[in-house]
Amino acid sequence: MRVPGTKLWAGEPVDSGELVREFLIADVFTDTPLEGNQLGIFLDGRGLSDEMMLKATREMNFAETVFFLPPAGQDADAHVRIFTPGRELPFAGHPTLGSAWVLGAILGKQTVTLRTGMGLVRVELSREQDAITFGWMEQPVPTWGPYDRTAELLGALGTAGKPGGLPVESYRNGPLTAYVEISTEEALDALDPDMRKLAGIPVNASCFTRTRNGCTTRMFAPALGVPEDPATGSAAGPLAVHLARHGRIEFGEQIEIRQGSCINRPSVLYARADGTQHAVERVLVGGKAVVVARGEYRLR
User: What is each CA distance from 112 to 25, 104, 139, 161, 224, in whole angstroms?
Assistant: 19, 6, 13, 39, 27
Dist. CA 261–CA 258, nearest whole Å: 8
Secondary structure of residue 244 in the 3-state scheme: helix
Number of Cβ atoms within 10 Å of the Cβ of 26: 29
Dist. CA 222–CA 236, nearest whole Å: 18
Catalytic residue (choose from 18, 22, 64, 296): 64
Helices and strands (H, E) in the chain, number of each type: 6, 18
Q: Which residues pair with 42 in a beta bridge?
A: 23, 67
Dist. CA 225–CA 220, nearest whole Å: 10
Structural contact between residues 141 and 280, judged by C-beta atoms closer than 8 angstroms: yes
Active site residue 253: no
Which positions are annotated as active-site residues? Answer: 64
